[in-house]
Structure formats: structure tokens, C-alpha cells
Amino acid sequence: MLLKANLHLHTREDKIEGFAIQYSIYEAIDRAAAYGFSVLALTGHQKCLFREEYGVYAANRKIKLIPGVELFLRSGWRRNDVLVLNCQPDIEKIKNLPDLRAYKNEHPEIFVIAPHPFYGLFSSLGGHNLQANLDIFDAIEHSWYYSAWFNPNRPASTAARAAGKPLIATSDSHTLRFLNDDYITIDAASWDCPDLFAALRANRFSLSTREKNGFELLWLARHEWALIKGYVRQTAARWPNFFQHE
């Protein structure tokens, strides 16, 4: 069966960036159903947000909702973002790549993706960390954020081919406007996670993606500015006297 899938999704319920996201998990599921998606992975930042009621809501709309998380793992001063699918809340205890390697050895049911690995110093693995830890990763992400003149997906594609890893397009959704632009269609026996992951590892999927224009790329700057303002408001709320003048 052919299953349209987005394996990197953020929503308003996110504990870190939710204040800058305009839609709930229910709204995301409804939009995905309208676009004909069959599989979504809910990948909250640092928190496994999956709830049974979310899964039931999705299933009632013929969508398989996979529990997931986007971890911020540390390697010295660098933050290494990593997607883990089909996980339990205890994944939140993982703080670095060696810990994740040990966890995966104990939990072979999970699927680990290297998201946007060549997109900068502060939230990407980079070439060195990716190559040094290829054994941890089942796949490499093809990011939605690229254009004809700016495309860090090129080294990601090269790394995936060299390592024999699948290159998976996602929308890394922080807005629903790009949800139907970047995704994969999986040829799997069923939408159960073992069948989905077996199909991905065997490269039984097609990749759909669209390069963005300059105005669309500017959306990220708007999102980052919303994050900065939100963090300032949170800081002011925690320390109300900090910003007061004598």
C-alpha cells in the first residue's frame, strides 16, 4: 500500500516553540487528512507529546500518528538535533549521542533521523558528527528550507548516498503552509511502524519536494523573530523585576 507521510511535525502543544506555532495537533491532523496524508509523526522539541486521544483522532481520519521527539543533544558547545520516532517518554532522558546509541541498542523498535544536518552551527549535526555517528541513524532528512541558490540538502544527499541511508523529505512543520510541499510516499505492507520502517530502510518510497522562492524562505526569519520575542516575554514573566527601572 502507498502511504503519504510527513515524519517531522511540530504543533502548538510544543513545550519550547509552541507559543510561535499557530495551529494545534487537531488542526494539523485535519489539514493533513485534507491533503491525503496517511502517516504523521508528532515530533515535539525535547518532549514526547503523543497522547492516546491524538492517535484516536488521527485514526478516525485514516491517519497513523507516530509518537516521536526532536531531541537537542549536546556535543561540547554544539547542539545536535536528532529525530526519534516510535519512542516512549523515557527517551527524554537522553542528553548526548553516546547515550542515544546505547538507548537504541536497547530499543531497536525506534527509527532515528538526522534532521537538517548541514544547516548551521547551533541546531545541526554537521558533517563530522554525522559521519562519526552514522551507525545511530536510520535515515537523513531532506529539509523543506532550500531554494535554487541556497541548498544545504546537497551535502545531505551526498552523505546519504555514500552511507547507503535513505534520504527522507519532510516539511519540518512549524507552519501548515508548506505541509503539502515536502513529504514521502511509502510503499509498505501496512502503516504499522515495523512495516513502515522496513520499507524506509529498503528505500521503498518516493520523495516529493519543492524548492522555495526568496519570499518563502523569509518565513523562517519571521518565525525566529517570533521565538525571540516569546523568549523575552517568558523571561520577563519569570523575573518581573528584572526589566523594571528604579
List, for residues 108-126, the tens digit of each pLDDT value.
999 999 999 998 766 788 8
Could you give the angle at the alpha carbon of 52 between the alpha carbons of 172 and 43, nearest 5°? 15
pLDDT of residue 127: 84
pLDDT of residue 246: 39
Contact assessment for residue 188 and residue 111, using Cβ atoms and an 8 Å cutoff: no
CA-to-CA dists, residue 167 to 134, 177, 180, angstroms: 13, 22, 18
Query: What CATH class is the domain 2-238?
Result: alpha beta
List, for residues 195-214, the tens digit of each pLDDT value.
999 999 999 999 999 999 88
pLDDT of residue 216: 82
Digit-by-digit pLDDT tens for the chain (246 residues) are 999 999 999 999 998 888 888 899 999 999 999 999 999 999 999 999 999 999 999 999 999 999 999 999 987 777 899 999 999 999 999 999 999 999 999 999 999 999 999 987 667 888 888 999 999 999 999 999 999 999 999 999 999 999 999 999 999 988 898 999 999 999 999 999 999 999 999 999 999 999 998 888 886 666 665 656 555 665 555 555 544 443
Cell reading at 139: 535515515
Contact assessment for residue 8 and residue 115, using Cβ atoms and an 8 Å cutoff: yes
pLDDT of residue 106: 96
**Share in percent of the chain as helix, strand, coil (round to 5):** 40, 25, 40
